[in-house]
Structure 1
Amino acid sequence: YRFLNHHAVPGLAWIIDFLLLIALCAAGWGLRRRPAVLVVLGIAFLFLPCLFLLISLRQPVLLPRYLLWSAAPFAVLVGVGAAALLEGRHVLAMRLAVAGVAALLLVNLVPYYHVETKPRWDVAARMLASEVDPGDVIYLSDTGALPILQLYMPHGAQAVVLKDADGDLAHAEKAISEGKRVWVVYGHAGQNTSTPKEFFGPAHALGKPSLVQAAGSRITIVLYDPAVSYASCTILGLQDGICG
């Protein structure tokens, strides 16, 4: 329940976890007379985590957490348990229970559609395509963003924008010393956990920023131009430690 709105309904996550636990226990109790079905579901529930654990001892495996924790068998077991709990209940009680679960799911999903849940690399690609000039250098905080930018970048702009976009800070410093403009792009493309201040601290070696702008709320694009003698900063730049 990563996107659950804890602030809107305090303790809601605990309520959902408690209900899921009850449903799982009910599934186990309800299937006690059908051991074959219970064993099959149990194997399906445990097979993938155990399999990938064994494989990872020899070779690291990257996979979605939903697959790792056997989401499908888990959902089946919870469904069986919920059906067992509602068996023999009054029709009105069953309808109220279903409506309550639907309401919990709705509350859980609402924040997902109101919050920027992933970096807007599509916006960053459009901004860079319209602003980067031939000869400019791109310095990415996460080089994993390169294939994402290639995906969103207009084909006519890829050759210009991404021609020199895989260098490190030393490469960016050299470009500045040669009089080239450097676009520093901060944003996560994978499991990187660095903060803006951690990244932009060493980047102060590039000088004062000529332009600070945001692509969504999780990507920052900063231009360092040796030909511009003044520094341009914003509230975003001050918050992220871009302007020193």
Structure 2
Amino acid sequence: MREIVFDTETTGLSFAGGDRLVEIGCVEMVNRVETGRTFHAYYHPERVMPAEAQAVHGISDAFLRDKPKFAEACEALIDFLGEAPLIAHNAGFDFSFLNGELSRCGRRIVHVDRMVDTLQIARSRHPGAKHTLDALCSRFGVDRSHRVLHGALLDAQLLAQVYVELLGGRQIGLGLVSDASRVETIQVTVRRPVTVRPPRTFRASDAELAAHAAFVAKLQDPLWGVAAFD
């Protein structure tokens, strides 16, 4: 099964309020294993980057000055996404911007049935815990030491690892043989050699009996006598 894990960076929190998509990063997975194929793009938002948004992702107006508008360069993104399910953390936010941009340039939007929200999965699996991407990376031992600022492709790569862990661990993607007819189960019975030893008889020697009798003779009113060992 092909899936796309993705993340976006924007000028703010609301597409309906005038904010725009400026970066998207996508990671392709097949059977929950990363294929190595990714998609990454920046887009000119056609508006000024607010200082508070730049503080989160570090993307400035100067950096975006020569980047294409979404409508001018969305075809490559659409081709990469295909019809695969799309996984995102707090997916409603990312979908609102992706579909907002697609709708704005007259393209078909992504149906909500394709949306997989890792935030909802995390809340159901670990109620009461922290569910930020950083917190989930720490929970599952995903290395995020190189994450200084938010970045769409980096965050998508981290989320791909977290997604697999949320669904049960890295062993999920180890289905290396997809054709059941090629799988053969071999039962091996190992028979170990059995060594039968004769029973051993342990009896005190005459010298040991004499030494014991001498020791008992020194006791005051012993509860047992030498006869018990004859």
Q: Same fold (TM over 0.5)?
A: no
Which category describes the TM-score, using the shorter chain as reference length?
A: under 0.3
Structure with bigger helix share is: 1
What TM-score does the superposition give when structure 1 sets the normalisation length? 0.20
Structure with bigger strand share is: 2
Find the structure with the greater CA-based Rg: 2
